[in-house]
Structure 1
Amino acid sequence: MSNWRFVISKRWFGYLAVAVVFAVVCVLLSNWQVSRLEEKRLENSRVLDNYEDDPVPLDDVLRSLDAWNDDQEWTPVLLTGTYLEEEQVLVRNRPRNGQPGFEVLTPLQLPDGRVFVVDRGWLPTGSAQDLPDVVPDPPAGDVTVTARLKPGEPALTGRGAAEGQIATVELSQFDERIDAPVYTAAYGLMASETPAPAEDRPLPAFKPELDEGSHLSYALQWIVFGLLGFAFLGYAIREEYRHLNAEDPAEQARAAARERKRVAKRSDADVEDDILDASVR
């Protein structure tokens, strides 16, 4: 036992502290990946529960202008009103299949004056690089829209946008510009509109994929990394023990036994390679 006393030192306690801190960090990162997995599963359940439902009147889902519940995401709603084309804006930096582009947000004014923002779809960046080549006009007059609910997005600090564009779907910006009550907690991804526009409408949003991602495997990997930290510490202790006790007869006997096992495991091909290497030298 006295041969192991070197472990009881500030140096090795320091190494142990590093291994413990590393393991704690790995556990925290693993838990973060598990929480990401739970969030993804919850998102998938909302898609399964709501996406294919029959559309219902907007008032049946959103009881007030600032009402929102995460369980309402992807719920199809039915609206009738008139597009406020002059208040239409583009949301910049919206890639689709790796191609840069814009989302087209057009406020829809309901018969009672309230305004609900509709995302009419996606347009690619045009030759000018900061605008689509063409922004199709929305249908004029009364229109009936089916849209799937999405929560508004927060403001992005330090992100600006050109005239007629916004950096994120920050619905409060519409409330500031439009002289009418605006829904500020949710907007809608268009599924259909009647009558159809005279020009091709922007590309509709993709149906979200039901994919849990790699969060579970990442969580397990972080646990393995934490355990490997202690395994490496044990290996380092063992190597130093062998170095410090190289002259000890008992350790020499163990080293000889390990060498015999190593030689016994060598194949004939390994022996032939050693002979060839020796002849070359």
Structure 2
Amino acid sequence: MNTPSRAEVEPRRSAELVRPSLRRAGPVAVYDTVTEGMTGRQFLRTRRWFALIASAFIFAVACGFLANWQFDRGQQASADNSIVATNFAATPLPIEQALPTLGSYDPSQSWQRVSIAGEYRSDDELVARNRSNGGENGFEVLTPLQLANGSVFLVDRGWVAPSANDPLAPGSIPPAPTGTVEVAVQLRPSEAPQGSATAAGNQITSITLSRVQQEIGGDLAGAFYTGAYGVLTAQSPAAGAGLAPIQTTMPVEDIGTHYSYAIQWMFFGLLGFVALGLGMRSEFRRLNSDDPEERERAADRLRKRAKKPFTDEELEDEEIDGFLPLTRWGIAGGTARAISSPISAPAPSSAPAAVQSPEVFVLEAPPEPRPER
């Protein structure tokens, strides 16, 4: 082992950085069989970088499609809200005018008010289970209403809570009025089928009108409205209390969420190019680390970083730990602390000390004692 000379030991005792190469950290023994030896931006012509660039463009296109999809959903929600706002409080139309055929229904008729006169067929009453009202699951009571011309229209009379004795069964349901009644309803489309096609007793899982027609059976072939059913808003004469109304306020679809997602997808698409650019910059700096111009740029970046004021986090770490990592100045390993003014170098036998360098203040321990030969 070679004994360090006095000229090497003295600077160490005064806390100086003997080797300038320690002032910045660089990649050590980093080899890439594809790009090693390349200079400038030649690495961009490799297959790997072609793939990365293509991936960034494909990702951006996918994000663009998703952003456009969310934007379209936002526009559709806005159009739906406009339709509901027009229909919700409009004057009721006679059912013959609103639904000229048994299968009639158009999305523009969502929540349209309709007036009907007829008699309830209470014996054919059904209940739809797993229906929420105010955060509680219960049942919706569905009673067919037979018109004077013999056709039958399904009326959703309201919501009832589960029975106290059996949560799988509805509670007490007030009977529908007898005789001729006049009702005002709001149109809703037939629901998509879900669950079992067979009703358990008089319970169904979805208000799918074709299934309801099959469940009721009897003389309804060719006489049942299968395009839409109605949510009751008023009737005369009134029924007994016990059913909660289905919809008391105008439903509004959330538009902002769709537009927010559209903006997020566009941001993600741009973020892919940002990541690609950062990767290109990092690779360029690595491959051109020996280029004089790039080394000068790296030194300039290091000088700017060293001149930045200490952050609150760094000051807090220095106060707690008594030192800062030298990575702030591009030095791999070691610690440092900031001082407000230059101080003189301590005597050789003293503890570690800090001195002012042209750019940073570095704290370095004295070398371990070596046996003299």
TM-score by length of 1: 0.91
What fraction of aligned residue pairs are identical, expressed as a percent?
39
> Is the Cα contact below 8 Å between 1:174 and 1:182 reproduced in 2?
no
> What is the aligned partner in structure 2 of residue 33 from structure 1?
70
> What is the aligned partner in structure 2 of residue 89 from structure 1?
126
> Is the Cα contact below 8 Å between 2:196 and 2:205 reproduced in 1?
no
> What is the aligned partner in structure 2 of residue 23 from structure 1?
60
Residue number among 200, 203, 214 corresponding to 2:242 in the alignment: 200
Amino acid at match of 1:190: L
Residue number among 36, 42, 53 corresponding to 2:90 in the alignment: 53
Where does structure 2 lack aligned partners over 5 or more consecutive residues?
1-37, 324-335, 338-362, 366-373
1:122-161 matches, within 5 Å, as: 122-127=159-164, 128-156=166-194, 161=199
Greater shift, 159-168 or 6-15, is seen at 159-168
> Is the Cα contact below 8 Å between 1:121 and 1:205 reproduced in 2?
no
Provide closer, same or farther for how the CA distance between residues 198 and 93 of structure 1 changes in structure 2, counting only shifts above 3 A.
closer
> What is the aligned partner in structure 2 of residue 235 from structure 1?
278
Where does structure 1 lack aligned partners over 5 or more consecutive residues?
none
Provide closer, same or farther for how the CA distance between residues 159 and 262 of structure 1 changes in structure 2, counting only shifts above 3 A.
farther
Provide closer, same or farther for how the CA distance between residues 84 and 217 of structure 1 changes in structure 2, counting only shifts above 3 A.
same
| 3-state SS, counterpart of residue 175 of structure 1 | helix
Residue number among 181, 184, 203 corresponding to 1:165 in the alignment: 203
Residue number among 224, 233, 239 corresponding to 1:182 in the alignment: 224
TM-score by length of 2: 0.70
Q: Which runs of 4+ in 1 moved over 4 A?
A: 157-161, 268-275, 278-281
> Considering only CA atoms, is the larger Rg found in Structure 1 or Structure 2?
2
* Shift in Å, 1:81: 0.9
1:49-128 matches, within 5 Å, as: 49-127=86-164, 128=166
Greater shift, 270-279 or 5-14, is seen at 270-279
Greater shift, 35-44 or 122-131, is seen at 122-131
Amino acid at match of 1:219: A
Q: CA RMSD in A?
A: 2.4
> Is the Cα contact below 8 Å between 1:92 and 1:161 reproduced in 2?
no
| 3-state SS, counterpart of residue 40 of structure 2 | helix
Structure-2 separation of matches of 1:120 and 1:89: 11
2:255 equivalent to 1:215: no
2:282 equivalent to 1:244: no
Structure-1 separation of matches of 2:65 and 2:248: 34
> Is the Cα contact below 8 Å between 2:172 and 2:242 reproduced in 1?
no
* Shift in Å, 1:159: 7.0
Provide closer, same or farther for how the CA distance between residues 137 and 89 of structure 1 changes in structure 2, counting only shifts above 3 A.
same
Amino acid at match of 2:115: L
Instruction: Compare the two structures and name the one with the higher helix fraction.
Output: 1
